Structure 1
């Protein structure tokens, strides 16, 4: 699915993994928000010279919530790759020169992604690996 700013909302089937690749102009900004029926579960922001990830607190894990930030490299445009799977978020920027990895503890499954700001890019849904793909019994021997 093509992504184009200034605003786009995407419904996500519960449990669906995503791969987003937004590009943000040097003078631009973008906020990528993951939501569930319980509300906002995480927000990634690019702008003001920073890449920041906010995640809310969790009632059962004291100190879990907070913000992680990294300086934005001085490129003309920042290319992001955001991979989300159930409770993990991987963010790569500038060809992998910058990365953030975070655990999420959503109150309920993620059901939406919204993007706000100046961006273009793509969104892919990821399929699960087939059952047994790494089982020793199902592995095929190659070259023997």
Structure 2
């Protein structure tokens, strides 16, 4: 019997006992005259289990209430500011886009005028092959 109690105590201190083994250990300890320290240990648990808390007052922790009014105003201001900044950036990008389109139109106009000018210069290409001014005006010295 003593060996059984020692085995169960060893398992109990190792944390390997089941609920049935713990119940068996308690009943074996109550029937034995030895193991006074273990009896006192398990007896203290039993006395704690029987005690009921009397006039137990749980202190209330002071919960800080957050005033949401200023948070809503701050959120509104933040949204308004972000919207304003976003709109300004959008307008600036639109202005840059419009300026880009105007520059590209100016380049297209320059290119078309240059093409017209090159067509008119085609006559000059024929003249550049003449060797002398006399050939140009049709007078040749004999």
TM-score by length of 2: 0.21
- Larger strand share, 1 or 2: 1
Structure with higher Rg: it is 2
Structure with bigger RCO (C-alpha 8 Å, 6+ apart): 1
- Larger helix share, 1 or 2: 2
TM-score by length of 1: 0.21
